Amino acid sequence: MSKLTNKAAWFSDNEKNWNDRANLHMAGDYCGLSRLLADPKAISAELALDIGRFGDLAGKQVMHLQCHVGTDTIGFARRGAARVVGLDLSETSLAHARAIADKAGADVEYVHANVYDARQAVSGDFDPVYTSIGVLCWLPDVVQWARVIASLLKPGGTFFIRDDHPMFMAIGEDVSDGLKVEQPYFQLDTPMTWDDDSSYVDTPGAPRIAHTTNHQWNHSLGQIITALIDAGLVVDGVEEFTYSAWCPWPGLMEQHADGMWRLREQPERLPLQFAISARKV
């Protein structure tokens, strides 16, 4: 790992990296895409975990931040939302998202922008604002992020995030000797910088990532919650889970019937995901 101090360079590197990741992901059946396209009522397994939290979506305007290729986003349109907006840093991801929405017959508006610029990039106020799985690690500052969330919400609107737990993210990659805390748990001013041509999902024969440099940050659960409170939101619930949507340690994890990955031994040792519900008063 190395360190940079230029945010513009960090975001530029990450955008190029995610453009390549999008093409790698779309080489396979990413997030059950074939099922989503075959069944006009289907929603992604990730969104299905939480769709009931939002109640009746009829007439609502939904914002999906860091939407990637939109496999979750189209679920909101299929559940009757009046307006659905997906926003992402990667234009290649959004090109795939638009093609998926067109094939799925889903009315979704996709916007290319940095999440920190979301308020300037999109008009209107939203309920709910949603973001999920592998999102916060790409953002250097959760305080500014929380302020953007608050600015996008209508009064009374709900914000929901499900993401990898920061304790999970602090465990090192080499687990041959067991789980070890090796990465920062708390948000730092400089990122962890990686050089890697793979992604969290892969398909044999898929194009490799050419722009391999990417920058990531961890944020403690306390930092995330406090940022939302300081932005003026009321936190209604914080949950932690023993499962993950992906498998970084094949030797230590097993996939269950629900599609989630858990530690094979003593799964209660480590939280792998968290979820936070909040609202704007």
- Contact 152/66 with Cβ under 8 angstroms? no
- Evaluate if residue 2 carries a pLDDT over 70: no
- Evaluate if residue 4 carries a pLDDT over 70: no
Return the pLDDT at 5: 59
Which residue bears the tokens 């969290």?
Answer: 200
Over range 75-96, report the average pLDDT.
Answer: 97
Max avg pLDDT among 4-8, 161-165, 195-199: 161-165
- Please, which pLDDT band fits residue 170 given cuts at 50, 70 and 90? very high
Residue 171 — φ and ψ, nearest 5°?
Answer: -75, 140
Rounding to the nearest 10 degrees, give the CA dihedral for residues 176, 180, 184, 185.
130
User: pTM of this prediction?
Assistant: 0.94
Q: Which domains does the chain have, with CATH numbers?
A: 3-280 (3.40.50.150)
